[in-house]
């Protein structure tokens, strides 16, 4: 399991093998949330939260 360092900006990079194994595309939205002490990131499929 890869380790990612959290910089002062709190922007983290999703490791390449995870990006390649997922359906993520540049510009796609994800939803991040805290659950039971850890951070989860879910791909937002065809939902428009800006409305």
pLDDT above 70: residue 22: yes
CATH number for the region 1-51 comes to 2.10.260
CA pair distance 19, 2, nearest whole angstrom: 13
Is 41 within 8 Å of 34 (Cβ atoms)?
A: no
pLDDT above 90: residue 13: yes
Q: What is the pLDDT of residue 8?
A: 97
Q: What is the pLDDT of residue 2?
A: 85
- Per residue in 31-49, pLDDT tens? 999 999 999 988 887 555 5
Confidence label for 1 from pLDDT (cuts 50, 70 and 90): confident
CA pair distance 19, 21, nearest whole angstrom: 6
């Amino acid at each position: 399991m890869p380790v990612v360092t959290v910089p002062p900006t709190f922007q983290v990079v999703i490791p390449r093998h995870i990006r390649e194994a997922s359906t993520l595309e540049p510009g796609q939205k994800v939803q991040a949330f805290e659950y039971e002490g850890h951070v989860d990131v879910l791909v937002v499929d065809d939902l428009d939260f800006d409305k």
